[in-house]
Amino acid sequence: MIGPMPKGPLGVSIGLNRGALTTETAIVVREASPGDNSGLVALTSATPMLGAISLRIDRGPDFFRLLDLRGKGKVFVATDRGRVIGCISAAVRTAFVSGTPQTIGYIGDVKVHPSFAGSRVVLRLIAALRDDLIRRDVDLLFAVIAAGNRQALSLMEGRLGTPRWRQIGSFRVCEFLPSPFAGRSNAYDIGPVRPNERGSLVALVNGFNRGYQFGPEIAPEDANPAPFARTLVARAGREVVATLTAFDTAEVKSNVVVALPPSLQAALAALYPLRLVLPRLRIPSVGEPLRLLYLRNAAHRKGHERALRALIQRARFEAYEREYSFAVLGIHERDPLSAIVKGLPKFVFSTHAFATSLVGGHDLEAIAAGIPMEDFALV
């Protein structure tokens, strides 16, 4: 998902052109305002994410909308003579840490225009955000960086006054191939959530997420389906025993394929003959937006792992019916959910997870011993 620079979450998007640097005396670092929207959208388009699949992330028409979904967000920008040339964001939200709801900050959208690569712009942005979070008593921070993104990883080492981060394992970002088969389950009733089930659904998800580090605590309003989301449940009798939400991010971000490595091109090319019998199979190609169906708020009651697998299969079917390229779910390398998705056809990409405590108020070793959770729909 996030690969070598330029990149995103910790979305570090530092360009590779080291020429044409201007003096930093004209650069101003400040909190972003709605008037910066067009500049932020342009900056995001100018800093493609290079990785296993190289992407250009389009955040128009409203850069801030995705950030609003992450939590109470704040963006800092660097400007040169009024032009936005860098940014960084933090979304403050409530998540479970060692079983207790706490306020954490998710760091992302770290971007610097290619013409300012090699400058201190990114360090000034990090310092501004760090000072702001400390003033707001936000101590514990979380971020993810794609495997192989060496320049971004170097920022996590605490050099030049930046916070030192503790790696807490890696996520396997599973991109499941859509399926023309809805799947059947004799043990469970699979279908959309009913209005009278929303209270029990919130309790189910929060109870499940409590067992993870950084598992989000969802509120009752989070169980209400957005126009671009569909919540599915599995019932055993009248009891909801598993759930997930299929979420289309197209209204808040668009991922355009810039380049594919030869190995992945070959793997995708092998899928083309399937279109003769599966006409709704949408295969990614360079220059076209990826249609991704993200799987959020996946949870199950103990002993009902097969119910969640049935829901993932139903989501793969809906991805096929609605012509998505993949259904996407991020699973930590130590997460028991890995057994649930074993055998499902998918591409897998690795992303590293990190945590830091700005003023030393949290035991990072204890946090690292747990299993992190991340919602890759909002990355």
pLDDT digit string, tens, across residues 133-187: 999 999 999 999 877 777 777 888 877 778 899 999 999 999 999 999 998 888 9
Q: What is the pLDDT of residue 11?
A: 43
Per residue in 294-310, pLDDT (tens digit) is 999 999 999 999 999 99
pLDDT-derived band of residue 229, with 50, 70 and 90 as boundaries?
confident
Phi/psi region, residue 323 (left: phi>0; alpha: psi -120 to 50; beta: rest), is left
Exposure string of 34-59, with b = 16+ CB inside 10 Å and e = fewer, is eebbebbbbbbebbbbbbbbbbbbbb
CATH architecture of structural domain 13-171: 3-Layer(aba) Sandwich (3.40)
Please tell us whether the domain made up of 175-350 is placed in CATH 3.60.60.10: no
- Contact (Cβ atoms closer than 8 angstroms) between residue 304 and residue 236: yes
Q: What ranges do the domains of the chain cover? A: 13-171, 175-350
C-alpha–C-alpha distance, residues 272 and 283, integer Å: 7
Q: What is the pLDDT of residue 17?
A: 38
Q: What is the pLDDT of residue 257?
A: 82
Pick from 182, 187, 10, 161: which is nearest to 90 by CA?
Answer: 10
Alpha helices in the chain (DSSP H): 37-46, 64-70, 121-135, 150-154, 198-209, 262-269, 305-321, 337-340, 364-368
| Identical fold between 13-171 and 175-350 | yes
Per residue in 260-292, pLDDT (tens digit) is 777 877 888 888 788 878 888 888 888 888 899
CA 74 and chain centroid, separation: 17
Is the confidence at residue 90, as pLDDT, over 90?
yes
Please indicate, yes or no, whether the overall pTM of this predicted structure exceeds 0.85: yes
C-alpha–C-alpha distance, residues 245 and 312, integer Å: 10
Q: Could you say which DSSP state residue 16 is in?
A: S
Q: Could you say which DSSP state residue 26 is in?
A: G
Opening angle at CA 224, ends 223 and 228, nearest 5: 110
Per residue in 182-228, pLDDT (tens digit) is 988 889 999 999 989 989 999 999 999 999 999 999 987 765 555 56
Lowest mean pLDDT among 203-207, 227-231, 237-241: 227-231
